[in-house]
Amino acid sequence: MSTAAIAEPAAGPVAERADLTAWLGVAAGAIGSLMATLDISIVNASLPTIQGEIGASASEGTWVATAYLVAEIVIIPLTGWLERVFGLKRFLLVAAVLFTAFSIMCGTAGTLSTMIIGRIGQGFTGGAMIPTAMTIIATRLPPSQQPIGTAMFGSTVILGPVLGPLVGGWLTENFSWHYAFFINVPVCAALVLLLLVGLPDEDMELDELVSADWLGILGMAMGLGGLTVVLEEGHREQWFESAMIWQLTVVTLIGFVFIAIGQFTARKPVIKLALLRNRTFAAVFVLALILGAVLYGTSYVIPQFLAAIANYNALQAGKVVFLSGVPALMMMPLIPLLLRFVDLRLAVGIGFATMALTCWIDASLTAQSSGSSFTESQLLRGFGQVMGMMFLNQAAISSVRIDEAGDASGLFNAARNLGGSIGLAVLATVQDSRLDFHHWMLNSAVQANAPAVQAYIGQQAARYGGGPEGLATAYRMFDQSVIRDAMVMAFNDEFLLLTVGILAVIPLVLLLKPLPKGQINMAMH
């Protein structure tokens, strides 16, 4: 991967300014990145409806979301090589056209298999547009204007996951779930036009196909793809009680062995894992995993709580999730200045400490909590995510040599998405196990013969008509109340776990390498 570290001098002549076509190219990169991250979660609100119309069970329907994420995680580390082989403009044009085609396939799908094929295609082509946005910024903007482009890119990566449930919920409630996919058609048409105007033509380097690390590429598909599916499906399949999980685990291990062999045998490995021997970059990698877990984990847990406890529909829950995107919009004008003059160690530390605080705030929910209970924490969480995301990207590049910056950027983006998969798997498992634990603890603490309990049951039985039927209804309602309280306690445990996880990695901030004031490093794949 070719790279560039671009530094703007503290003093000197005013740098040249990018022309309109350059900014159109940057806008194309930002739109492509937004669409790719948006489509990760846009179907979440529509899943129940989609499952019913394509004849899929609840467990099968989850593959509509999982298939996209698996494909995206596999393709992100490969984009640098693909850019080099086909040229950036040609590569992105093909990706945008195919993304549109796969979106239409999903929107017209009548069976689960067609939907899954379409979502895999969306993941491969959409995932290619995430890291390439940074390449466009680095190649099309002069150093003085690159912080603006970086701010645009960072905002789209943060806004996508939180905007998805809102857009998907609104389209489903007001039109149809099909439009959660068809909305990509006009956006991608505009994207193609911007790419044609905003990016220069480049020669292909097809000789790269001959000397490519094919063993590493195969290992990436098997290792990252298998690991993502294991994490996503493990909880539903009861982990290693399932033959499928065992088989996929073997596939994952073989894939990682292939990647390891490629590190030593390939002239240029498709992904440079040797970077993880650098303790500074290793710290960035771990911080990115936790950042992804918080970004995607909270976007999963909060709608779950609002649906189960506050009886919110998908659109109402989506509005609450979107609150964390508001700071990204408000801070975008300030991010270029912050990137220039704020020590990245301080910024990342503040960002992660803020995220820990928000999860700790949310760990005190009650059965009476509703969407308003998340207003303060969501706004603060958005601020923390902006600080963590933007400055960690800079830390990833500054922690390695200039010629390794592209590899570092690819690993950083992959770590963020992989952290999201790990976080979702852990949170789903914790939710069920802690629900069972709290349900048992509450039941054991309540003595059925206690006068207060008998008086309450008697009142409820009378309320439901008395007699055996009224008594049975009263006991059933009492147990539902206990389950509700146990569920709230389980959600609190999830937020507490996130709090502990964030606090555990904050000391790694001390290992980060600060940038000289005024310098912005960019990775070009």
Q: pLDDT tens digits, residue range 306-340? A: 888 888 877 788 788 888 888 877 887 787 788 77
Q: What is the CATH number of the domain that holds 390?
A: 1.20.1250.20
The residue segments making up the domain with residue 265 are 213-269
C-beta neighbour count of 470 within 10 angstroms: 17
User: What is the spatial distance between Cα 492 and Cα 486, in angstroms, rounded to a whole number?
Assistant: 10
Residue 116, CA atoms < 13 Å, CB-side half-sphere? 13
Which residues face 520 on adjacent strands? Answer: 6
Single-letter code of the amino acid located at 466: G
pLDDT in tens, 79-99: 877 887 888 888 899 999 999
Query: Average pLDDT for residues 453-480, to the nearest whole number?
Result: 65
Among 2-11, 28-37, 202-211, which stretch is predicted with the lowest mean pLDDT?
A: 2-11
| CB neighbour burial string for 302-328, b if at least 16 within 10 angstroms, e if fewer | bbbbbebbbebebbbbbebbbbbbebb
Q: Percent of the chain, pLDDT > 70?
A: 85
Instruction: Tell whether 229 and 111 lie within a shared domain.
Output: no
Query: Average pLDDT for residues 36-50, to the nearest whole number?
Result: 77
Query: Average pLDDT for residues 137-155, to the nearest whole number?
Result: 75
Place of tokens 């802690």: 434
Contacts of 483 (CB under 8 A, 6+ apart): 435, 439
Indicate whether 6 belongs to any domain: no
Indicate whether 165 belongs to any domain: yes
Q: What's the pLDDT at 250? A: 93
Instruction: Tell whether 99 and 157 lie within a shared domain.
Output: yes
Q: What's the pLDDT at 4? A: 40
Last residue of a domain, one of 211, 229, 245: 211
Q: How far apart are the first and last CA of the chain?
A: 5
Single-letter code of the amino acid located at 164: G
Instruction: Tell whether 181 and 293 lie within a shared domain.
Output: no
Domain count, the chain: 4
User: What is the spatial distance between Cα 72 and Cα 84, in angstroms, rounded to a whole number?
Assistant: 19
Query: Average pLDDT for residues 123-148, to the nearest whole number?
Result: 79
Q: Does 493 have pLDDT greater than 90?
A: yes
Query: Average pLDDT for residues 476-502, to the nearest whole number?
Result: 86
Query: Average pLDDT for residues 376-391, to the nearest whole number?
Result: 90
Indicate whether 151 belongs to any domain: yes
Q: What's the pLDDT at 515? A: 64
Indicate whether 4 belongs to any domain: no
Q: Does 6 have pLDDT greater than 50?
A: no
Indicate whether 2 belongs to any domain: no
pLDDT in tens, 407-448: 777 788 788 878 887 887 788 788 888 888 887 887 776 665
Q: Percent of the chain, pLDDT > 90?
A: 18
Instruction: Tell whether 103 and 234 lie within a shared domain.
Output: no
**Helices 405-445/375-398 angle, 10° precision:** 150
Instruction: Tell whether 287 and 306 lie within a shared domain.
Output: yes
| Average pLDDT score, the chain | 80
Among 69-73, 138-142, 143-147, 465-469, which stretch is predicted with the lowest mean pLDDT?
A: 465-469
Instruction: Tell whether 199 and 235 lie within a shared domain.
Output: no
Indicate whether 10 belongs to any domain: no
Q: What's the pLDDT at 402? A: 64
Q: What's the pLDDT at 143? A: 72
Residue 110 buriedness (CB in 10 A; 0-12 / 13-18 / 19+): exposed
Among 228-237, 361-370, 474-483, which stretch is predicted with the lowest mean pLDDT?
A: 474-483
Q: Does 504 have pLDDT greater than 90?
A: yes
Q: Does 496 have pLDDT greater than 70?
A: yes
Instruction: Tell whether 471 and 353 lie within a shared domain.
Output: no
Q: What's the pLDDT at 319? A: 84
Instruction: Tell whether 515 and 424 lie within a shared domain.
Output: yes
Q: What pTM was computed for the model?
A: 0.78
Q: Does 468 have pLDDT greater than 80?
A: no
Instruction: Tell whether 199 and 225 lie within a shared domain.
Output: no
Residue 300, CA atoms < 13 Å, CB-side half-sphere? 23
Q: What's the pLDDT at 62? A: 67
Instruction: Tell whether 431 and 458 lie within a shared domain.
Output: no
User: What is the spatial distance between Cα 174 and Cα 151, in angstroms, rounded to a whole number?
Assistant: 32
Indicate whether 9 belongs to any domain: no
Indicate whether 108 belongs to any domain: yes
DSSP 16: P
Question: In Å, how far from its chain's centre is CA 176?
Answer: 25
Nearest to 129 by CA among 25, 34, 271: 34
Instruction: Tell whether 431 and 286 lie within a shared domain.
Output: yes
Instruction: Tell whether 46 and 175 lie within a shared domain.
Output: yes
